Structure 1
Amino acid sequence: MVDFRKHVSRKRDIDFANLASLFDSLDRQTSHIELRAVQKHALQILSEQRLKQDVILKMSTGAGKTAVGLLYLWSFMEEKHQPAVYLCPTKQLCKQVGVEAERLGLKSVIYPPRQTHPNVDGISGKAIIICTYDKLFNAKTTFDRSDVMLRPYAIVLDDAHAGVEEIRDCFTLHISNDSERKQLVKILDGPCAEYNSAVWNDIKNEDPNQLMEIPYWIWKPLLPQIEKIITNRVNDDDNLQFVIPHIQDILRRCRCVVSGAAVEIVPDILPVHKSPAYDKAAHRLFMSATLADDSVLVRELGCDISAAEKPVKPTNDRGMGERMVLAPSLVDDKLDRKWIMSLCSKLSTKLNVVVLSPSESKAREWENFGAQICLGDKVKDALENLKDTSGTPSFVVFIQRYDGIDLPDKSCRILVIDGMPLGEGILDRLDSSTSGFAGGTRNRLIYRIEQGMGRAVRSHADYVVILLAGNELAHFIAKHDVLSAMNPDTRAQLELAIDLSKMATEDTGADPETAVIDMIRKCLKRDDGWKQYYNETVKESSITTSGTTDPDRLALANAERRAFECAIINNLNGAVEFLSNAIGKHISDNSAAKGWYLQRVANYLYDIDPGKALEVQRSACENNKSMYRPPQGVIKRPQQVEESGVQSIISEWYSQFKNPNGAIATIQELKANLSFDVSHSVFEQAMCDLAPLLGAQGSRPEKEDGEGPDDLWLWPDLSLVIEAKTEKEKPLQKKDAGQLSSSINWFKENFKKNKNPVPIIVARTTLCNSDAYFPHDTRFITVDTMRSLLEKVEQFYRKIIAEPLLFSNKRALSRLQQAFLLLPEQFLKNFTDKPKKSK
């Protein structure tokens, strides 16, 4: 037998610093595998930055970043003979990475859930370890067990955007057990009832839709009792076992959110130092296809800010595939969610249609149109059926699957994002309704929209039609601030969606339904004009936009991270200093974001000087009404609205929409939420949201300050003090009159400069019991007057959209208000009724 090794003069030297050349040394499984230009460029840049601890790599879906990440790990594993780990969000993606490693000729081992020891080749640095994020980051990870002590030299974090959410879940304590939840509510009862009795009473009555975040001055003094409850059953509850060790000693740095059905406790900043396998890794590569705001990696995962300032982005990346994004309700409000359901039912007879829905209840509504709901084990089978294009087309709905599934080419040509992609946790729900998030705080809604849109385009040559269902989602993506937070590709495609909604009827002259269907057909039939237009408006736009994260956001995220790191070693003065300096340098005065960061300063300061902390908290609340209301003193409120402010408020509200039809979509949503059958919290918020459409300043004093009316509308010469009694079908009672009287007294004490406070009741009836003495001049808004008001509001804004010049002049705008009976002085006469005594 011939031993070829005898004829080899010397072992070939391998240059581990040249990642592209390493590829040529691999024993690849197929002969036709070669690096693409974009991969070569990525490897070249990575080679130059290889010795840094943290590097961020951005490559489009389908550009081959998995192979790049594997080569990056292999270089360190071969050079240092130490373990290397490739992290994925899901088990399915782990398998895909394993297949790619085999294709490249790289040895790898999957380290699955519940396996107690990793493969010996992985430990010895002879094979790349592939596992999910939760395998490494859970509090009882086998990586840290004394008989394993696996310390990777290098780590790749694939789909880092999804990884942040997976890691956060490893640090989040979910308490839905009825006994434990009730014990926690009992401990919090006294101070929380005093802080906001209305909301807290709903929580005690187990209203699952009502939420409250516990203020830090209530949370911190009660920690000894709270810790006792959650640690007593740590060995009886898997969730507690796998989370408590992470957060037990940093509960002072955690947020606590309570609903009528659950409690969540989660660190404000992720304490990733609790995972030594990650924290001590010499090299970490964060890979992402879609994440535009890299500040989240700095804030949550402790990524070095210099990596976020200069991410690796191959210049010859051809970008993601073609996506025709359509929001039919922006074309015409009659093209609503049910219309999309009906359309998809027809389209599914010829091609695959996939729906991404935020909840099972919403998903079930698609069954009436022939869709199949995919849960649990059915997901895998459904994905296989979609990819088998030889059979009958599929019409399927996935729930909360905004990442982790791939639907390339014919497996999905029609993708529906079914309404706002809200998260499953109560903290998700709270944060999605809070303004002022910035500097690395996760904007989950934007992230999920981007991720969902990416499911069906897996290469630059792929194409899909994406339908955005629901008015709420349509008006959300029509806002300037939302678009600015998207990555360049997604932003360009959503801006195109807004342009297409205008072109649908303006260019064709066809009715809206025909116009939208024609657009869909042009994409699916590969119309040359459409492809050329798309390339000019989207691809060229995204190429010329850098997508680099705003420097102020990065600086603020870094300051939050540094402040947290100071706080966990009890350097609270350092924590306050880091954040205060960042606020001064990187935030404009009187912004909602400033309120957000000031509250973080106050939280740290409370452990040093509680009195001064509450002064800072007052400023936080004045900048952002979503922040905690201080426990003492009266909040400063806008005392008067300037005469010209009515039209200015209308202009400011209308100007937030890049597409004017976003205003109509918002009005449709308001009409739904101002139904007298919705929950009182939804109705009260909708009343507050309606105010600026009429040129009034709206607020919810009882929710924001714990006292006062449900809603308050302020015009220059008129103030409405509003109590919502929409659940009342019988005549109103004495206690209802007393509540309104108290609210009027509160107004007179706190708004002494404001004129003409008018007491308003919103109810189904104008009848009152004989002993119910309402304040003088009380007026009622009923189902009929509310309907009339909303009709006039919609007509008013449709007129503005049709004749934009009316909007450019305040006098013209005022005359238009008058024509639609929407001036403040016209409101009471046209949209309210007098109360009547029942017989």
Structure 2
Amino acid sequence: MVDFRKRLNKPEIEKKINPIEIYSSLDRRSVAGPLRPAQHKILTEWFDSRLNEKDLIIKLHTGEGKTLIGLLILQSKINSGNGPCLFVCPNKYLVAQVKRDARKFGINFCSIEDDGSLPNEFIDGEKLLITHVQKVFNGKTIFGLGNDYIPVSNIILDDSHACIDSIKNTFTINITREHDLYSELFELFKDALPEQGEGTFLEISNGDYNSFLPIPYWNWIDKSEEALEILSKYRTENEIAFSWPFIKDSIKNCQAFVSGNNIEIAPIHIPIEKFSSFNNANQRILMSATTQDDSFFIKGLGFNANAIQNPLHNPEQLWSGEKMLIIPSLIDDTLDRDKIVNIMAKPSEKKFGIVSLVSSFKKTETYKKLDSIVPKSGEIGAAVDHLKKRNFRQTVVFANRYDGIDLPDETCRILIIDGRPYFYSLADRYEESNRLGSDSLNIKIAQKIEQGLGRSVRGEKDYCLIFLIGADLIKFIKSSRTNKYFSSQTKKQIEIGMEIAKMASEDISDKTEPYEVIRSLMLQSIQRDEGWKEFYKEEMNKIQANNSSSKIYDVLTLERKAAVLNYTGEYEKARNLIQAIVDKHCIDESEKGWYMQIMARYAYLLSKTDSNTLQKSAFLKNHELLKPKEGITYKRLEFINENRTKRILEWVKQHQDFEDLMLSVEDVLADLQFGTSAEKFETAFKELGHMLGFLSERPDKEFKKGPDNLWCGVGNQYFIFECKSEVKIERTEINKHEAGQMNTHCAWFEGQYSDAPVHRILVIPTKNLSYHADLTHKVQIMRRGKLKSLRHNVKSFLKEFNKYEIESLTDEKIQEFLNMNKLDIDSLKTEYSENYRKKTS
């Protein structure tokens, strides 16, 4: 072999460490052109001034080449002798994609060996290693835990928000009902659960998938040794093995939830420091999209607020790619979710892909009936490849998948975001039901929506038309109370979408079908109408950089410090930090209650009496929280001789304008349909009561006993509702269990309210009572048709308010609206329910 080195003027080839110079020297493929200006700027700034920062966030628009930036940074570290270096992706699918990019650019890398071991080239710092988050963050990781670990000098987490979700799952034990462990743990805690909701407990016992309860922390702590003993018997099984190292020595630091389908156990503090390879790395870089709020890196990964507030980014480019947001329901009432799905989900010949992102697998049923493709979790990659091979005839539907899917160019020219993102873990669902107005929760929801919006526009020149459908999603993006959580780029795109809706609605005439206006907009996007392109560019260039500092940084920093103190046994200090959050950062009473429950938990191992006092205060501020062991009794919902119309006006005045009012109405009514989860349905029924001028509550949820919904305050008339929204429409009879629940709640009402006049309604799709069931009181049934009629009349009633100045409305006029729309008391008792029919055999 000819040794060309002998002919060089220098004895050794010096390795380049400047990432710009590294790129120019790589044997990259011809399709890999020069660095983009944004890449050049980021790499230069990193090398010149941020080379040695321990925690760093790199934020770039989708399609600006974050992956190449990360690969070059790690190659620079290797060339300077600062290995080992690790590039971590959120899933296997993206690992394959990053490896393809590395080959394209000529960057050497290595992979975990076939036997699961780490390659020597990685350990010796010769090549960077590309892998996925589950390999790094699990209880049996090959990188080691605690003091027994493989040192890693530099780590990059790509698509880091998705990585955080995967890390949370690592610490969570999830036991399905079919596993023996489920019944053993259920038996251990079953006596404590009914106090937190008798009706919900019965539903869990009967295997209801959507019903769940938290195991009270005091019961969990008191029985932690028994729980640990049960768990240890199964510690080698897959459901336990990967979380066991984090659970076994801190069982009291865990929280647990029970549903009819599974039991979930997870630490209340994620000890990320256990992963020493990550925790002790010299530099930890998180890759993030510009649309994402990075505040949860503080609590999830232990980053400091300074790193979040000072990301490495390209301030010269405030937006990238083209998104035409279409909100059909704002163009015309008839363009609701069902209408759009029924049109867009049907197979058709076209030269581009249509993709829908839905919030749950339940929502995919309509699409399946229309012959759309609905891949399961393990089929995501195949479905994306199907589109990349230009198989465009069928719509492809992804359930609860808002990240980790790239759909550039023709693979997706029309994207549907169907409904507000839904939380799946029981811990997240519990937080959602308790913190409806919190910054923390709304940031998470906005983040999911923005992840979804970014799936189809993957570069500066990419474009897509995006349908936003579902009343809950529309309310979230449009309401001033929640749309403030979006990035500047997304807020401007939503504003443009509102403007488009306004212009499109003006184009509708007696001769024009509303959908024809939608079709015209689709053609303008897909056929590249010059007027639209210029309008979009002009509007997007008006974006102002958002330099405001969020108070959530301070809150999450205090939360993390408190959780760490509690984890190490310094309960009083932990409690004091949470008190600081209550004192300085909480205005809403229910949010104060949420943090006071955390304080009560931290106090429990110091003083059970103090803990119960705190828990009582928390519950009084927020009835969705845990009912304390003692000291709370049900307070009757007393009839108040107050004008019904006054309460209706108060509800209406909560809204900024008529459009905002109708958004709330649509949001509530959309959840009042069979097939909706019990939590959403019953919440909507409570709000419906307020809309109609009643005092309205959810006794089973708020006081852990009684019916699902209770209305009163009008003519001393009470209504109790037992809601079975999740019962299948095809069900032919009311079973013995459901009749028994209704009987129990009727008896509860008698015990609390004696002989007060009450109308008892069972909301269920069938009026046939099983031969084996009996109802002990006069009960009527609200079926699908009656429920639909109620929704229609409520909407018509509230539409009346558009014709008048609110302050000019008299009691008589509002009562006239009620009477016209059959919402007076007599009509409510007769129009929307019917007698049941008892089966004789």
Report the TM range for the smaller structure's normalisation: 0.7 to 0.9
Q: How does 1:185-264 map to 2 (within 5 A)?
A: 185-235=186-236, 237-264=237-264
Match of 1:742 among 748, 757, 760: 748
Q: 2:650 & 2:466 partners in 1: Cα distance?
A: 34
Q: Does 1:818 align with 2:815?
A: yes
Give ranges in structure 2 of 5+ residues lacking alignment: 728-732
Deviates more, 1:267-276 or 1:757-766: 757-766
Output one character per residue of 1:88-121: Cα deviation in whole Å (capped at 9) or x when no partner. 0111211222233334443211337x74212211
Alpha-carbon distance, 1:560 to partner: 0.9
Secondary structure of 1:544's aligned partner: coil
Q: 1:553 & 1:714 partners in 2: Cα distance?
A: 39
Q: 2:116 & 2:315 partners in 1: Cα distance?
A: 43
Alpha-carbon distance, 1:481 to partner: 3.3
Q: 1:388 & 1:678 partners in 2: Cα distance?
A: 36
Alpha-carbon distance, 1:480 to partner: 3.0
Output one character per residue of 1:271-294: Cα deviation in whole Å (capped at 9) or x when no partner. 211211111112111111155322
Partner residue in 1 for 2:629: 631
Question: Any conservation in 1 of the 2:15–2:80 contact (CA below 8 Å)?
Answer: no
Partner residue in 2 for 1:519: 521
Q: How does 1:465-544 map to 2 (within 5 A)?
A: 465-509=465-509, 510-537=512-539, 539-541=540-542, 543-544=543-544
Q: 2:775 & 2:346 partners in 1: Cα distance?
A: 57
Q: Which amino acid is 2:452 matched to?
A: G
Output one character per residue of 1:246-301: Cα deviation in whole Å (capped at 9) or x when no partner. 22222222221111111011123322112111111121111111553222110111
Q: Which amino acid is 2:36 matched to?
A: R
Output one character per residue of 1:131-180: Cα deviation in whole Å (capped at 9) or x when no partner. 11110001000111899942211111111111111111111101014321
Partner residue in 1 for 2:68: 67
Deviates more, 1:240-249 or 1:37-46: 37-46
Pick closer, same or farther for the CA change 1:587–1:21 going to 2, 3 Å.
farther
Give the structure-2-normalised TM-score.
0.87
Alpha-carbon distance, 1:369 to partner: 2.6
Alpha-carbon distance, 1:556 to partner: 0.7
Partner residue in 2 for 1:129: 129
Question: Any conservation in 2 of the 1:657–1:663 contact (CA below 8 Å)?
Answer: no
Q: 2:665 & 2:823 partners in 1: Cα distance?
A: 23
Measured on the aligned residues, the alpha-carbon RMSD in Å equals 3.8
Partner residue in 1 for 2:683: 685
Secondary structure of 1:599's aligned partner: helix
Question: Any conservation in 1 of the 2:196–2:626 contact (CA below 8 Å)?
Answer: no
Partner residue in 1 for 2:331: 331
Secondary structure of 2:269's aligned partner: coil
Count of matched residue pairs: 812
Output one character per residue of 1:415-443: Cα deviation in whole Å (capped at 9) or x when no partner. 22333443544444444444247565686
Output one character per residue of 1:160-213: Cα deviation in whole Å (capped at 9) or x when no partner. 111111111111101014321111111011121233222112211222221111
Q: 2:195 & 2:278 partners in 1: Cα distance?
A: 43
Q: Does 1:566 align with 2:565?
A: yes
Secondary structure of 1:626's aligned partner: coil
Pick closer, same or farther for the CA change 1:250–1:811 going to 2, 3 Å.
farther
Q: 1:640 & 1:180 partners in 2: Cα distance?
A: 48
Partner residue in 1 for 2:824: 827
Q: Which amino acid is 1:554 matched to?
A: Y
Output one character per residue of 1:28-71: Cα deviation in whole Å (capped at 9) or x when no partner. 45496322221222224434233221111211110111122222
Q: 2:367 & 2:835 partners in 1: Cα distance?
A: 45
Alpha-carbon distance, 1:243 to partner: 1.1
Q: Which amino acid is 1:75 matched to?
A: S
Partner residue in 1 for 2:553: 554
Q: Which amino acid is 2:181 matched to?
A: E
Q: 2:292 & 2:638 partners in 1: Cα distance?
A: 40
Partner residue in 2 for 1:356: 357
Question: Any conservation in 1 of the 2:508–2:517 contact (CA below 8 Å)?
Answer: yes
Secondary structure of 2:131's aligned partner: strand
Q: Which amino acid is 2:525 matched to?
A: C
Question: Any conservation in 2 of the 1:87–1:156 contact (CA below 8 Å)?
Answer: yes
Secondary structure of 2:167's aligned partner: helix
Question: Any conservation in 2 of the 1:61–1:289 contact (CA below 8 Å)?
Answer: yes
Q: 1:38 & 1:597 partners in 2: Cα distance?
A: 42
Q: Does 1:86 align with 2:49?
A: no
Pick closer, same or farther for the CA change 1:825–1:337 going to 2, 3 Å.
closer
Q: 1:138 & 1:302 partners in 2: Cα distance?
A: 17
Pick closer, same or farther for the CA change 1:485–1:816 going to 2, 3 Å.
farther
Q: How does 1:360-375 map to 2 (within 5 A)?
A: 360-375=361-376
Alpha-carbon distance, 1:335 to partner: 2.6
Partner residue in 1 for 2:57: 56
Give ranges in structure 1 of 5+ residues lacking alignment: 749-755
Output one character per residue of 1:603-637: Cα deviation in whole Å (capped at 9) or x when no partner. 11112122222222233233333222222223697
Deviates more, 1:73-82 or 1:173-182: 73-82
Partner residue in 1 for 2:141: 141
Q: Does 1:759 align with 2:765?
A: no
Pick closer, same or farther for the CA change 1:238–1:729 going to 2, 3 Å.
closer
Secondary structure of 2:255's aligned partner: strand
Q: 1:243 & 1:28 partners in 2: Cα distance?
A: 42
Partner residue in 1 for 2:585: 586
Partner residue in 2 for 1:277: 277
Pick closer, same or farther for the CA change 1:609–1:657 going to 2, 3 Å.
farther
Output one character per residue of 1:780-807: Cα deviation in whole Å (capped at 9) or x when no partner. 685587555433311123333x54xx3x
Question: Any conservation in 2 of the 1:758–1:779 contact (CA below 8 Å)?
Answer: no
Q: 2:436 & 2:788 partners in 1: Cα distance?
A: 33
Secondary structure of 1:372's aligned partner: coil
Q: How does 1:426-465 map to 2 (within 5 A)?
A: 426-436=426-436, 438=438, 444-465=444-465
Pick closer, same or farther for the CA change 1:315–1:678 going to 2, 3 Å.
closer
Match of 1:606 among 604, 607, 615: 604
Pick closer, same or farther for the CA change 1:745–1:817 going to 2, 3 Å.
farther
Question: Any conservation in 2 of the 1:355–1:416 contact (CA below 8 Å)?
Answer: yes
Alpha-carbon distance, 1:739 to partner: 4.2
Alpha-carbon distance, 1:352 to partner: 1.8
Partner residue in 1 for 2:708: 710
Partner residue in 2 for 1:651: 652
Deviates more, 1:628-637 or 1:691-700: 628-637
Output one character per residue of 1:660-713: Cα deviation in whole Å (capped at 9) or x when no partner. 55335325414415xxx8787665433213123224443212222123443233
Give the structure-1-normalised TM-score.
0.87
Pick closer, same or farther for the CA change 1:595–1:540 going to 2, 3 Å.
farther
Question: Any conservation in 1 of the 2:597–2:618 contact (CA below 8 Å)?
Answer: yes
Alpha-carbon distance, 1:483 to partner: 1.8
Question: Any conservation in 1 of the 2:15–2:79 contact (CA below 8 Å)?
Answer: no
Question: Any conservation in 2 of the 1:83–1:153 contact (CA below 8 Å)?
Answer: yes
Partner residue in 1 for 2:730: none
Q: Which amino acid is 1:91 matched to?
A: K
Deviates more, 1:144-153 or 1:97-106: 144-153
Secondary structure of 2:569's aligned partner: coil
Secondary structure of 2:248's aligned partner: helix
Pick closer, same or farther for the CA change 1:618–1:658 going to 2, 3 Å.
farther
Alpha-carbon distance, 1:823 to partner: 12
Q: Which amino acid is 2:691 matched to?
A: L
Alpha-carbon distance, 1:657 to partner: 9.3
Secondary structure of 1:456's aligned partner: coil
Question: Any conservation in 2 of the 1:196–1:706 contact (CA below 8 Å)?
Answer: yes
Question: Any conservation in 1 of the 2:407–2:457 contact (CA below 8 Å)?
Answer: yes
Question: Any conservation in 1 of the 2:593–2:621 contact (CA below 8 Å)?
Answer: yes
Q: Does 1:305 align with 2:302?
A: no
Q: 2:393 & 2:820 partners in 1: Cα distance?
A: 55
Pick closer, same or farther for the CA change 1:738–1:603 going to 2, 3 Å.
closer
Q: 1:772 & 1:739 partners in 2: Cα distance?
A: 11
Q: Which amino acid is 2:748 matched to?
A: S
Pick closer, same or farther for the CA change 1:67–1:445 going to 2, 3 Å.
same
